[in-house]
Structure 1
Amino acid sequence: MKAVLKIFALIALATLASPTFAEERWQTLPEPAPMPKPAESGYAQVNGIEMFYQVFGSGEPVLLIHGGLGHGDIWSAQVADLSKDHKVIVPDSRGHGRSTRNAEPFGYDLMASDYLALLDYLKVDKTALVGWSDGGIIGIDIAMNHPERLTRLFAQAANVTTDGVDPGVATNKTFGAYIARSGEDYARLSKTPTEYDAFVTQISHMWETQPNWTKEQLGKITVPTAIVAGDHDEAIKREHTEYMASVIPGAKLVILENASHFAMLQDPEGYDKAVRDFIDAK
Protein backbone atom coordinates (compact mmCIF):
# COMPACT_ATOMS: atom_id res chain seq x y z
CA MET A 1 0.00 0.00 0.00
CA LYS A 2 2.86 2.42 0.78
CA ALA A 3 4.23 1.89 -2.71
CA VAL A 4 0.78 2.64 -4.14
CA LEU A 5 0.66 5.87 -2.13
CA LYS A 6 3.99 6.95 -3.59
CA ILE A 7 2.60 6.36 -7.06
CA PHE A 8 -0.43 8.45 -6.09
CA ALA A 9 1.86 11.28 -4.97
CA LEU A 10 3.74 11.26 -8.28
CA ILE A 11 0.45 11.29 -10.17
CA ALA A 12 -0.70 14.24 -8.08
CA LEU A 13 2.43 16.22 -8.96
CA ALA A 14 1.92 15.50 -12.65
CA THR A 15 -1.72 16.49 -12.26
CA LEU A 16 -0.85 19.86 -10.81
CA ALA A 17 1.54 20.51 -13.68
CA SER A 18 -0.95 19.55 -16.38
CA PRO A 19 -3.00 22.40 -17.89
CA THR A 20 -5.54 19.96 -19.33
CA PHE A 21 -6.51 18.36 -16.01
CA ALA A 22 -9.84 19.06 -14.33
CA GLU A 23 -11.79 20.10 -17.42
CA GLU A 24 -14.83 18.33 -15.99
CA ARG A 25 -16.29 18.92 -12.53
CA TRP A 26 -15.94 15.24 -11.60
CA GLN A 27 -12.19 15.50 -12.20
CA THR A 28 -11.68 18.36 -9.75
CA LEU A 29 -10.71 18.24 -6.08
CA PRO A 30 -11.85 21.57 -4.59
CA GLU A 31 -10.51 22.63 -1.22
CA PRO A 32 -13.19 22.50 1.48
CA ALA A 33 -14.20 25.85 2.89
CA PRO A 34 -13.19 26.62 6.48
CA MET A 35 -15.39 24.92 9.05
CA PRO A 36 -17.99 27.05 10.83
CA LYS A 37 -17.41 27.74 14.50
CA PRO A 38 -18.58 24.73 16.55
CA ALA A 39 -20.93 24.98 19.49
CA GLU A 40 -18.80 22.33 21.19
CA SER A 41 -15.54 20.56 20.45
CA GLY A 42 -13.04 18.42 22.27
CA TYR A 43 -11.64 14.95 22.75
CA ALA A 44 -13.60 11.94 23.97
CA GLN A 45 -11.76 9.05 25.59
CA VAL A 46 -13.06 6.02 23.68
CA ASN A 47 -11.58 2.54 23.32
CA GLY A 48 -8.13 3.62 24.43
CA ILE A 49 -7.83 6.61 22.07
CA GLU A 50 -8.59 10.32 22.12
CA MET A 51 -11.31 10.95 19.54
CA PHE A 52 -11.64 14.53 18.32
CA TYR A 53 -15.16 15.79 17.66
CA GLN A 54 -17.06 18.97 16.85
CA VAL A 55 -20.77 19.68 17.31
CA PHE A 56 -22.73 22.32 15.38
CA GLY A 57 -26.31 23.58 15.55
CA SER A 58 -29.31 22.00 17.23
CA GLY A 59 -32.20 19.76 16.28
CA GLU A 60 -32.42 16.15 15.17
CA PRO A 61 -28.89 14.74 15.22
CA VAL A 62 -26.88 13.73 12.18
CA LEU A 63 -23.44 12.13 12.38
CA LEU A 64 -21.00 12.79 9.52
CA ILE A 65 -18.21 10.20 9.07
CA HIS A 66 -15.38 10.98 6.65
CA GLY A 67 -13.37 8.60 4.48
CA GLY A 68 -10.01 6.88 4.82
CA LEU A 69 -6.94 9.07 5.44
CA GLY A 70 -9.17 12.15 5.67
CA HIS A 71 -10.71 14.14 8.52
CA GLY A 72 -13.99 15.76 9.46
CA ASP A 73 -13.25 19.18 7.97
CA ILE A 74 -14.05 17.82 4.51
CA TRP A 75 -17.72 18.20 5.53
CA SER A 76 -17.62 22.00 5.93
CA ALA A 77 -20.26 22.69 3.24
CA GLN A 78 -22.59 20.04 4.66
CA VAL A 79 -22.11 21.38 8.19
CA ALA A 80 -22.99 24.91 7.05
CA ASP A 81 -26.25 23.66 5.56
CA LEU A 82 -27.35 20.92 7.95
CA SER A 83 -26.55 22.84 11.15
CA LYS A 84 -29.34 25.29 10.33
CA ASP A 85 -31.84 22.79 11.73
CA HIS A 86 -29.87 19.75 12.88
CA LYS A 87 -27.39 18.91 15.59
CA VAL A 88 -24.41 17.97 13.43
CA ILE A 89 -21.69 15.78 14.94
CA VAL A 90 -18.38 15.74 13.07
CA PRO A 91 -15.57 13.57 14.48
CA ASP A 92 -12.19 12.45 13.17
CA SER A 93 -11.87 8.65 13.00
CA ARG A 94 -9.19 6.92 15.05
CA GLY A 95 -5.71 7.80 13.78
CA HIS A 96 -7.15 10.34 11.34
CA GLY A 97 -6.96 14.12 11.61
CA ARG A 98 -6.70 15.15 15.25
CA SER A 99 -7.70 11.79 16.75
CA THR A 100 -5.07 9.46 18.15
CA ARG A 101 -4.57 5.76 17.53
CA ASN A 102 -3.04 2.91 19.51
CA ALA A 103 -1.49 -0.43 18.59
CA GLU A 104 -4.84 -2.20 18.23
CA PRO A 105 -5.36 -3.41 14.65
CA PHE A 106 -7.77 -1.31 12.61
CA GLY A 107 -11.11 -2.91 11.78
CA TYR A 108 -14.46 -1.55 10.71
CA ASP A 109 -16.05 -3.17 13.75
CA LEU A 110 -13.59 -1.37 16.03
CA MET A 111 -14.16 1.95 14.29
CA ALA A 112 -17.92 1.47 14.52
CA SER A 113 -17.45 0.83 18.23
CA ASP A 114 -15.52 4.12 18.50
CA TYR A 115 -18.43 6.03 17.00
CA LEU A 116 -21.00 4.33 19.22
CA ALA A 117 -18.87 5.19 22.25
CA LEU A 118 -18.70 8.80 21.07
CA LEU A 119 -22.49 8.93 20.75
CA ASP A 120 -22.72 7.59 24.29
CA TYR A 121 -20.26 10.26 25.45
CA LEU A 122 -22.40 12.94 23.80
CA LYS A 123 -25.60 11.37 25.17
CA VAL A 124 -27.06 10.83 21.69
CA ASP A 125 -29.25 7.73 21.68
CA LYS A 126 -30.14 7.69 17.98
CA THR A 127 -28.94 9.61 14.92
CA ALA A 128 -29.03 9.83 11.16
CA LEU A 129 -25.65 8.93 9.69
CA VAL A 130 -24.01 10.28 6.55
CA GLY A 131 -20.89 8.30 5.72
CA TRP A 132 -18.43 8.73 2.88
CA SER A 133 -16.17 5.87 1.70
CA ASP A 134 -14.77 4.28 4.90
CA GLY A 135 -17.39 6.32 6.74
CA GLY A 136 -20.13 4.68 4.72
CA ILE A 137 -18.69 1.26 5.50
CA ILE A 138 -18.66 2.12 9.21
CA GLY A 139 -22.28 3.21 8.86
CA ILE A 140 -23.23 -0.11 7.27
CA ASP A 141 -21.49 -1.95 10.14
CA ILE A 142 -23.55 0.02 12.66
CA ALA A 143 -26.75 -0.55 10.66
CA MET A 144 -26.14 -4.32 10.69
CA ASN A 145 -25.12 -4.67 14.31
CA HIS A 146 -26.73 -1.74 16.17
CA PRO A 147 -29.77 -0.65 14.15
CA GLU A 148 -31.34 0.83 17.26
CA ARG A 149 -28.77 3.65 17.13
CA LEU A 150 -29.66 4.88 13.62
CA THR A 151 -32.70 6.62 12.15
CA ARG A 152 -31.38 6.60 8.57
CA LEU A 153 -28.13 5.76 6.76
CA PHE A 154 -26.79 7.70 3.74
CA ALA A 155 -23.77 5.67 2.60
CA GLN A 156 -21.82 7.25 -0.24
CA ALA A 157 -18.91 5.60 -2.10
CA ALA A 158 -18.87 2.58 0.21
CA ASN A 159 -18.11 -1.05 -0.58
CA VAL A 160 -19.08 -4.24 1.22
CA THR A 161 -16.43 -6.58 -0.21
CA THR A 162 -12.88 -5.79 -1.22
CA ASP A 163 -13.54 -6.70 -4.85
CA GLY A 164 -15.94 -3.77 -5.05
CA VAL A 165 -12.92 -1.47 -5.36
CA ASP A 166 -11.99 -0.51 -8.93
CA PRO A 167 -8.30 -1.35 -9.54
CA GLY A 168 -8.11 1.66 -11.87
CA VAL A 169 -8.10 3.89 -8.80
CA ALA A 170 -4.36 3.20 -8.46
CA THR A 171 -3.63 5.46 -11.45
CA ASN A 172 -6.45 7.97 -11.09
CA LYS A 173 -5.29 11.60 -10.98
CA THR A 174 -8.04 12.96 -8.76
CA PHE A 175 -7.60 10.19 -6.22
CA GLY A 176 -3.83 10.71 -6.36
CA ALA A 177 -4.30 14.38 -5.56
CA TYR A 178 -6.50 13.43 -2.58
CA ILE A 179 -3.80 11.09 -1.22
CA ALA A 180 -1.19 13.83 -1.52
CA ARG A 181 -3.45 16.37 0.20
CA SER A 182 -4.25 13.91 2.97
CA GLY A 183 -0.57 13.52 3.80
CA GLU A 184 -0.20 17.29 4.07
CA ASP A 185 -3.30 17.54 6.27
CA TYR A 186 -2.03 14.76 8.52
CA ALA A 187 1.23 16.62 9.11
CA ARG A 188 -0.74 19.77 9.95
CA LEU A 189 -3.44 18.27 12.20
CA SER A 190 -2.18 15.09 13.83
CA LYS A 191 -0.74 14.80 17.33
CA THR A 192 1.83 12.48 15.71
CA PRO A 193 2.62 14.51 12.57
CA THR A 194 5.69 12.50 11.56
CA GLU A 195 3.95 9.10 11.69
CA TYR A 196 1.88 9.21 8.49
CA ASP A 197 3.66 6.21 6.94
CA ALA A 198 3.17 4.17 10.12
CA PHE A 199 -0.51 5.12 10.22
CA VAL A 200 -0.99 4.18 6.55
CA THR A 201 0.76 0.85 7.09
CA GLN A 202 -1.45 0.09 10.08
CA ILE A 203 -4.75 0.92 8.37
CA SER A 204 -3.72 -0.80 5.13
CA HIS A 205 -3.89 -4.15 6.89
CA MET A 206 -7.62 -3.54 7.30
CA TRP A 207 -8.13 -2.51 3.68
CA GLU A 208 -6.48 -5.69 2.42
CA THR A 209 -9.22 -7.93 3.83
CA GLN A 210 -12.16 -5.74 4.89
CA PRO A 211 -15.04 -5.32 4.48
CA ASN A 212 -16.14 -8.81 3.56
CA TRP A 213 -19.87 -9.05 4.26
CA THR A 214 -22.20 -11.61 2.75
CA LYS A 215 -25.49 -11.07 0.98
CA GLU A 216 -27.19 -12.73 3.95
CA GLN A 217 -25.64 -10.29 6.42
CA LEU A 218 -26.61 -7.27 4.34
CA GLY A 219 -30.09 -8.69 3.89
CA LYS A 220 -30.74 -8.32 7.61
CA ILE A 221 -30.37 -4.53 7.61
CA THR A 222 -33.56 -2.82 8.77
CA VAL A 223 -32.35 0.80 8.90
CA PRO A 224 -33.71 2.93 6.04
CA THR A 225 -30.67 3.18 3.77
CA ALA A 226 -29.56 5.15 0.74
CA ILE A 227 -26.68 3.68 -1.27
CA VAL A 228 -25.06 6.61 -3.03
CA ALA A 229 -22.33 7.10 -5.63
CA GLY A 230 -21.12 9.71 -8.03
CA ASP A 231 -21.63 8.77 -11.65
CA HIS A 232 -17.84 9.01 -12.15
CA ASP A 233 -16.68 7.38 -8.91
CA GLU A 234 -12.99 6.51 -9.30
CA ALA A 235 -12.78 3.93 -6.54
CA ILE A 236 -16.00 1.91 -6.40
CA LYS A 237 -17.36 -0.13 -9.31
CA ARG A 238 -20.84 0.94 -10.39
CA GLU A 239 -22.04 -2.67 -10.50
CA HIS A 240 -20.93 -3.08 -6.89
CA THR A 241 -22.93 -0.03 -5.81
CA GLU A 242 -25.96 -1.42 -7.61
CA TYR A 243 -25.44 -4.80 -5.96
CA MET A 244 -25.40 -3.18 -2.52
CA ALA A 245 -28.66 -1.37 -3.22
CA SER A 246 -30.24 -4.58 -4.47
CA VAL A 247 -29.42 -6.74 -1.42
CA ILE A 248 -30.07 -4.24 1.39
CA PRO A 249 -33.83 -4.42 1.98
CA GLY A 250 -35.64 -1.31 0.79
CA ALA A 251 -32.42 0.52 -0.03
CA LYS A 252 -32.65 3.58 -2.27
CA LEU A 253 -30.03 3.88 -5.03
CA VAL A 254 -28.88 7.49 -5.51
CA ILE A 255 -26.50 8.41 -8.35
CA LEU A 256 -25.02 11.90 -8.13
CA GLU A 257 -24.54 13.47 -11.56
CA ASN A 258 -21.23 14.83 -12.83
CA ALA A 259 -19.54 13.85 -9.58
CA SER A 260 -16.96 11.35 -8.37
CA HIS A 261 -15.80 9.83 -5.10
CA PHE A 262 -15.44 13.42 -3.86
CA ALA A 263 -18.97 14.58 -4.62
CA MET A 264 -19.37 16.56 -1.39
CA LEU A 265 -16.55 18.86 -2.55
CA GLN A 266 -17.42 18.97 -6.24
CA ASP A 267 -21.14 19.70 -5.89
CA PRO A 268 -21.89 20.74 -2.32
CA GLU A 269 -25.35 22.11 -3.09
CA GLY A 270 -26.41 18.98 -4.95
CA TYR A 271 -24.89 16.79 -2.26
CA ASP A 272 -26.64 18.66 0.53
CA LYS A 273 -29.96 18.34 -1.30
CA ALA A 274 -29.48 14.59 -1.75
CA VAL A 275 -28.69 14.21 1.96
CA ARG A 276 -31.70 16.28 3.03
CA ASP A 277 -34.06 14.57 0.60
CA PHE A 278 -33.21 11.30 2.34
CA ILE A 279 -32.59 12.01 6.02
CA ASP A 280 -35.43 14.53 6.32
CA ALA A 281 -37.97 12.46 4.39
CA LYS A 282 -41.19 11.84 6.27
Structure 2
Amino acid sequence: MTSRTTPRSPGTAARRPVGTVTRGTTNPNRLRRMDRWIAAAHGAELRRVADPVAVDLGYGAAPWTAVELLARLRSVAPHARVVGVEIDPARVAAARPYERDGLVFRHGGFEVPLAGRPSLIRAANVLRQYDEGEVAGVWERLCARLAPADPASGSRGGLLVEGTCDEIGRRHVWVALGPEGPRTVTFATRLGSLDRPSDLAERLPKALIHRNVSGEPVHAFLRDFDRAWAAAAPYASYGARQRWMRAVRDLTADWPVVDGPVRWRQGEVTVAWGALAPLG
Protein backbone atom coordinates (compact mmCIF):
# COMPACT_ATOMS: atom_id res chain seq x y z
CA MET A 1 0.00 0.00 0.00
CA THR A 2 2.08 2.91 1.22
CA SER A 3 5.61 3.45 2.35
CA ARG A 4 7.07 6.79 3.43
CA THR A 5 5.19 10.03 3.27
CA THR A 6 6.63 12.22 0.52
CA PRO A 7 6.83 16.00 0.89
CA ARG A 8 4.44 18.01 -1.22
CA SER A 9 5.77 20.76 -3.44
CA PRO A 10 4.01 24.13 -3.64
CA GLY A 11 0.88 23.89 -5.71
CA THR A 12 0.45 20.15 -5.27
CA ALA A 13 -3.23 19.24 -5.12
CA ALA A 14 -4.48 18.54 -1.61
CA ARG A 15 -6.09 15.35 -2.89
CA ARG A 16 -2.77 13.77 -3.81
CA PRO A 17 -2.51 10.42 -1.98
CA VAL A 18 -0.04 10.30 0.90
CA GLY A 19 2.56 7.59 0.41
CA THR A 20 4.23 5.45 -2.23
CA VAL A 21 3.49 2.06 -3.75
CA THR A 22 4.76 -1.12 -2.09
CA ARG A 23 4.77 -4.77 -3.15
CA GLY A 24 1.12 -5.37 -2.38
CA THR A 25 1.55 -9.04 -1.45
CA THR A 26 -1.76 -10.64 -0.48
CA ASN A 27 -3.41 -14.04 -0.20
CA PRO A 28 -7.00 -15.23 0.39
CA ASN A 29 -7.78 -15.76 4.08
CA ARG A 30 -4.51 -14.17 5.15
CA LEU A 31 -6.26 -11.82 7.59
CA ARG A 32 -8.94 -14.16 8.92
CA ARG A 33 -7.62 -14.11 12.51
CA MET A 34 -7.53 -10.34 12.60
CA ASP A 35 -11.00 -10.09 11.04
CA ARG A 36 -12.54 -12.49 13.53
CA TRP A 37 -11.03 -10.56 16.41
CA ILE A 38 -12.38 -7.29 14.99
CA ALA A 39 -15.85 -8.79 14.63
CA ALA A 40 -15.79 -9.96 18.25
CA ALA A 41 -14.16 -6.87 19.78
CA HIS A 42 -15.77 -4.15 17.67
CA GLY A 43 -19.04 -5.70 16.49
CA ALA A 44 -21.18 -3.96 19.12
CA GLU A 45 -19.71 -0.59 18.14
CA LEU A 46 -20.44 -1.27 14.47
CA ARG A 47 -24.04 -2.12 15.29
CA ARG A 48 -24.42 1.05 17.34
CA VAL A 49 -23.90 3.42 14.40
CA ALA A 50 -26.41 3.98 11.62
CA ASP A 51 -23.91 3.65 8.76
CA PRO A 52 -20.84 1.65 9.83
CA VAL A 53 -18.03 2.13 7.31
CA ALA A 54 -14.79 0.12 7.45
CA VAL A 55 -11.64 0.89 5.47
CA ASP A 56 -9.29 -1.82 4.23
CA LEU A 57 -6.22 0.38 3.89
CA GLY A 58 -3.62 -1.04 1.53
CA TYR A 59 -5.43 -4.20 0.41
CA GLY A 60 -2.67 -4.93 -2.10
CA ALA A 61 -2.43 -6.35 -5.58
CA ALA A 62 -5.72 -8.27 -5.30
CA PRO A 63 -8.92 -7.36 -3.42
CA TRP A 64 -9.41 -10.59 -1.47
CA THR A 65 -8.93 -9.09 1.99
CA ALA A 66 -11.56 -6.39 1.38
CA VAL A 67 -14.07 -8.92 0.04
CA GLU A 68 -13.52 -11.14 3.08
CA LEU A 69 -13.68 -8.24 5.53
CA LEU A 70 -17.14 -7.31 4.27
CA ALA A 71 -18.44 -10.86 4.77
CA ARG A 72 -17.00 -11.13 8.28
CA LEU A 73 -18.22 -7.74 9.44
CA ARG A 74 -21.71 -8.36 8.08
CA SER A 75 -21.92 -11.49 10.19
CA VAL A 76 -22.06 -9.17 13.23
CA ALA A 77 -23.21 -5.87 11.69
CA PRO A 78 -25.47 -6.51 8.67
CA HIS A 79 -25.37 -2.90 7.46
CA ALA A 80 -21.56 -2.59 7.47
CA ARG A 81 -19.86 -1.24 4.36
CA VAL A 82 -16.22 -1.63 3.31
CA VAL A 83 -14.08 0.77 1.29
CA GLY A 84 -10.86 -0.68 -0.06
CA VAL A 85 -8.19 2.02 -0.38
CA GLU A 86 -5.02 1.62 -2.46
CA ILE A 87 -2.44 4.12 -3.65
CA ASP A 88 -1.71 2.30 -6.91
CA PRO A 89 -4.39 3.28 -9.49
CA ALA A 90 -3.84 0.04 -11.42
CA ARG A 91 -4.75 -1.99 -8.33
CA VAL A 92 -7.90 0.07 -7.85
CA ALA A 93 -8.90 -0.48 -11.47
CA ALA A 94 -8.27 -4.23 -11.16
CA ALA A 95 -10.46 -4.38 -8.03
CA ARG A 96 -13.44 -2.50 -9.49
CA PRO A 97 -15.08 -5.65 -11.01
CA TYR A 98 -15.39 -6.99 -7.45
CA GLU A 99 -17.50 -4.08 -6.26
CA ARG A 100 -20.93 -5.01 -4.96
CA ASP A 101 -23.50 -3.80 -2.48
CA GLY A 102 -21.48 -2.54 0.47
CA LEU A 103 -18.06 -2.79 -1.19
CA VAL A 104 -16.24 -0.13 -3.23
CA PHE A 105 -12.61 0.67 -4.03
CA ARG A 106 -10.93 4.06 -3.94
CA HIS A 107 -7.58 5.52 -4.91
CA GLY A 108 -5.82 7.02 -1.90
CA GLY A 109 -3.41 6.67 0.98
CA PHE A 110 -3.10 7.69 4.60
CA GLU A 111 -5.37 10.66 4.09
CA VAL A 112 -8.23 8.07 3.84
CA PRO A 113 -10.33 9.58 1.02
CA LEU A 114 -13.80 9.35 2.53
CA ALA A 115 -16.27 12.15 3.11
CA GLY A 116 -17.07 11.00 6.65
CA ARG A 117 -15.20 9.30 9.44
CA PRO A 118 -15.00 5.50 9.35
CA SER A 119 -15.88 3.23 12.25
CA LEU A 120 -12.92 0.99 11.43
CA ILE A 121 -9.60 1.25 9.64
CA ARG A 122 -7.67 -1.97 9.15
CA ALA A 123 -4.04 -1.48 8.05
CA ALA A 124 -2.41 -4.90 7.85
CA ASN A 125 1.20 -5.28 6.72
CA VAL A 126 1.21 -1.62 5.63
CA LEU A 127 3.87 -0.14 7.93
CA ARG A 128 6.35 -3.00 7.55
CA GLN A 129 8.59 -0.89 5.29
CA TYR A 130 8.48 2.19 7.48
CA ASP A 131 11.13 3.39 9.88
CA GLU A 132 10.13 3.00 13.51
CA GLY A 133 10.25 6.75 14.04
CA GLU A 134 7.56 7.29 11.41
CA VAL A 135 4.95 5.06 12.98
CA ALA A 136 3.64 7.49 15.59
CA GLY A 137 2.91 10.09 12.92
CA VAL A 138 1.00 7.60 10.78
CA TRP A 139 -0.99 6.41 13.80
CA GLU A 140 -1.86 9.99 14.69
CA ARG A 141 -3.02 10.75 11.15
CA LEU A 142 -5.19 7.63 10.95
CA CYS A 143 -6.66 7.98 14.44
CA ALA A 144 -7.69 11.53 13.56
CA ARG A 145 -9.81 10.09 10.73
CA LEU A 146 -11.74 7.71 13.00
CA ALA A 147 -15.29 8.33 14.15
CA PRO A 148 -15.06 10.19 17.47
CA ALA A 149 -16.11 8.79 20.82
CA ASP A 150 -19.54 9.76 22.17
CA PRO A 151 -19.67 9.31 25.94
CA ALA A 152 -23.40 10.10 26.00
CA SER A 153 -24.15 6.98 23.96
CA GLY A 154 -21.37 4.86 25.43
CA SER A 155 -19.47 4.83 22.15
CA ARG A 156 -15.66 4.61 22.32
CA GLY A 157 -15.42 5.77 18.71
CA GLY A 158 -13.79 4.14 15.73
CA LEU A 159 -11.01 1.56 15.79
CA LEU A 160 -7.69 1.39 13.97
CA VAL A 161 -6.16 -2.08 13.78
CA GLU A 162 -2.54 -2.01 12.59
CA GLY A 163 -0.26 -5.02 12.55
CA THR A 164 1.63 -7.71 10.73
CA CYS A 165 1.12 -11.36 9.82
CA ASP A 166 2.87 -14.07 7.86
CA GLU A 167 2.00 -14.86 4.25
CA ILE A 168 -0.70 -17.43 5.02
CA GLY A 169 -2.10 -15.94 8.19
CA ARG A 170 -0.80 -18.38 10.79
CA ARG A 171 0.83 -15.75 13.00
CA HIS A 172 -0.31 -12.21 13.71
CA VAL A 173 0.47 -9.38 16.10
CA TRP A 174 -1.56 -6.17 15.95
CA VAL A 175 -2.15 -2.97 17.87
CA ALA A 176 -5.70 -1.65 18.36
CA LEU A 177 -6.06 2.13 18.61
CA GLY A 178 -9.00 4.41 19.24
CA PRO A 179 -9.35 8.14 18.57
CA GLU A 180 -7.36 8.70 21.77
CA GLY A 181 -4.44 6.48 20.70
CA PRO A 182 -3.16 2.93 21.34
CA ARG A 183 -5.26 0.62 23.51
CA THR A 184 -4.09 -2.99 23.25
CA VAL A 185 -1.71 -5.45 21.59
CA THR A 186 -3.03 -8.83 20.41
CA PHE A 187 -0.95 -11.93 19.70
CA ALA A 188 -2.76 -14.54 17.58
CA THR A 189 -1.55 -17.82 16.11
CA ARG A 190 -2.45 -21.17 14.68
CA LEU A 191 -1.39 -23.14 17.73
CA GLY A 192 -0.26 -26.20 15.81
CA SER A 193 2.42 -24.11 14.12
CA LEU A 194 3.93 -22.79 17.36
CA ASP A 195 7.05 -24.10 19.10
CA ARG A 196 7.04 -21.33 21.72
CA PRO A 197 5.19 -18.00 22.09
CA SER A 198 8.31 -15.96 21.28
CA ASP A 199 8.06 -17.34 17.71
CA LEU A 200 5.56 -14.50 17.28
CA ALA A 201 8.33 -11.93 17.72
CA GLU A 202 9.04 -11.99 13.98
CA ARG A 203 5.50 -10.65 13.39
CA LEU A 204 5.61 -7.78 15.86
CA PRO A 205 4.36 -4.55 14.25
CA LYS A 206 6.89 -1.89 13.36
CA ALA A 207 6.28 0.01 16.61
CA LEU A 208 7.55 -3.00 18.60
CA ILE A 209 9.69 -5.24 16.42
CA HIS A 210 12.94 -3.37 17.06
CA ARG A 211 12.16 -3.24 20.79
CA ASN A 212 12.41 -6.98 21.34
CA VAL A 213 15.68 -6.50 23.23
CA SER A 214 16.66 -6.82 26.87
CA GLY A 215 15.26 -4.03 29.00
CA GLU A 216 12.19 -3.38 26.82
CA PRO A 217 8.70 -4.41 28.03
CA VAL A 218 7.80 -6.46 24.95
CA HIS A 219 10.97 -8.52 25.38
CA ALA A 220 10.11 -9.16 29.04
CA PHE A 221 6.58 -10.16 28.07
CA LEU A 222 7.73 -12.71 25.48
CA ARG A 223 10.34 -14.05 27.93
CA ASP A 224 7.65 -14.55 30.59
CA PHE A 225 5.30 -16.08 28.02
CA ASP A 226 7.95 -18.63 27.03
CA ARG A 227 8.48 -19.48 30.71
CA ALA A 228 4.74 -19.91 31.26
CA TRP A 229 4.57 -22.06 28.11
CA ALA A 230 7.38 -24.28 29.40
CA ALA A 231 5.69 -24.60 32.81
CA ALA A 232 2.45 -25.60 31.05
CA ALA A 233 4.16 -28.47 29.19
CA PRO A 234 2.15 -31.15 31.09
CA TYR A 235 -1.00 -29.74 29.48
CA ALA A 236 0.36 -30.56 26.02
CA SER A 237 -1.04 -34.06 26.41
CA TYR A 238 -4.48 -32.43 26.15
CA GLY A 239 -3.49 -30.47 23.06
CA ALA A 240 -1.79 -27.20 22.17
CA ARG A 241 -4.94 -25.22 22.94
CA GLN A 242 -5.03 -26.35 26.55
CA ARG A 243 -1.33 -25.64 26.95
CA TRP A 244 -1.78 -22.12 25.51
CA MET A 245 -4.74 -21.40 27.77
CA ARG A 246 -2.85 -22.51 30.85
CA ALA A 247 0.19 -20.42 29.91
CA VAL A 248 -1.96 -17.33 29.33
CA ARG A 249 -3.76 -17.87 32.63
CA ASP A 250 -0.39 -17.91 34.38
CA LEU A 251 0.61 -14.70 32.58
CA THR A 252 -2.35 -12.85 34.08
CA ALA A 253 -0.58 -12.87 37.46
CA ASP A 254 2.00 -10.36 36.19
CA TRP A 255 0.66 -8.85 32.97
CA PRO A 256 -2.58 -6.91 32.24
CA VAL A 257 -4.29 -9.43 29.98
CA VAL A 258 -7.60 -7.85 28.97
CA ASP A 259 -9.43 -10.76 27.33
CA GLY A 260 -10.55 -14.14 28.63
CA PRO A 261 -10.83 -17.87 27.89
CA VAL A 262 -13.21 -17.42 24.94
CA ARG A 263 -10.49 -15.60 23.03
CA TRP A 264 -7.62 -17.67 24.44
CA ARG A 265 -9.23 -20.74 22.93
CA GLN A 266 -8.78 -19.11 19.52
CA GLY A 267 -5.02 -18.93 20.04
CA GLU A 268 -5.12 -15.28 21.08
CA VAL A 269 -4.10 -13.11 23.98
CA THR A 270 -4.62 -9.35 24.26
CA VAL A 271 -2.55 -7.15 26.57
CA ALA A 272 -2.94 -3.48 27.49
CA TRP A 273 -0.72 -1.32 25.29
CA GLY A 274 0.76 0.54 28.24
CA ALA A 275 2.39 -2.65 29.51
CA LEU A 276 4.25 -3.27 26.23
CA ALA A 277 4.83 0.27 24.96
CA PRO A 278 8.44 1.07 24.07
CA LEU A 279 10.46 2.84 26.73
CA GLY A 280 11.41 6.41 26.00
Question: For the superposition of Structure 1 and Structure 2, which TM-score range results when normalised by the shorter chain?
Answer: 0.3 to 0.5
Larger radius of gyration: 2
Richer in helix (by share): 1
